[in-house]
Amino acid sequence: MGQNRLVLIIAILSLTVILLVVEVAILLSRTEPLQTISNQPSKEAFPNYPEYRDETLISEARNALGSLRIALEARAADKGYYADTNDTNSIVYLETEGVIDSIARLETSWASHTYDIDRTTYNVQVTAKDRASTQLILTPMGIRP
């Protein structure tokens, strides 16, 4: 008799555990996912991606010009002028003397550029790599679009 009761209690407990597991599974299947994942790009995340891309490219070109301006000002402070008499219209001397690490690294953010540098001033015109080919001009007074 005692053995039958033990088997009955074990059967009831097993059945209860199975029913609880089924109820939990049903509850989990009824809950909605917090966020659906889609292969489509979100319009809220990048509403004007081309404009942001252009702003980034212009900003990179402007930062490169800023680095060049710092190098030219450092050169002017050290030597008292911007270029040697035999090396006007060039900024290669900044790299050869170690004022700038790499001229090519600066130029990677520019579609085109022209240098006009003499003993007292400089004028660097740069075309950014954005869709509108934005022109940036570097002078001792600053950088302007």
Q: What is the pLDDT of residues 91-128, one digit of tens each?
A: 777 887 777 888 888 899 999 999 888 777 889 999 99
Residue 113: other Cβ atoms inside 10 A: 18
Which secondary-structure segment (H or E) carries 81? Answer: none
What is the phi/psi pair of residue 35, to 5°?
-150, 135
Whole-structure pTM over 0.75, yes or no? Answer: no
Query: What is the band of 76 on the pLDDT scale with cuts at 50, 70, 90?
Result: confident
pLDDT at 75 exceeding the cut of 60: yes
What mean pLDDT, rounded, does the chain reach?
Answer: 81
Alpha carbon distance 83, 80 (integer Å): 9
The structure tokens listed for 113 are: 């550029």
Residue 11: other Cβ atoms inside 10 A: 10
The DSSP bridge partners found for residue 112 are: 127
pLDDT of residue 6: 82
CA-based R_g, the chain, Å: 35
Residue 15: other Cβ atoms inside 10 A: 10
Structure confidence by residue, pLDDT tens digits, 8-53: 888 888 888 898 888 888 877 776 555 555 566 555 566 678 888 8
Which secondary-structure segment (H or E) carries 116? Answer: strand 110-117
Domain ranges for the chain, please list them: 51-144
Alpha carbon distance 39, 29 (integer Å): 23
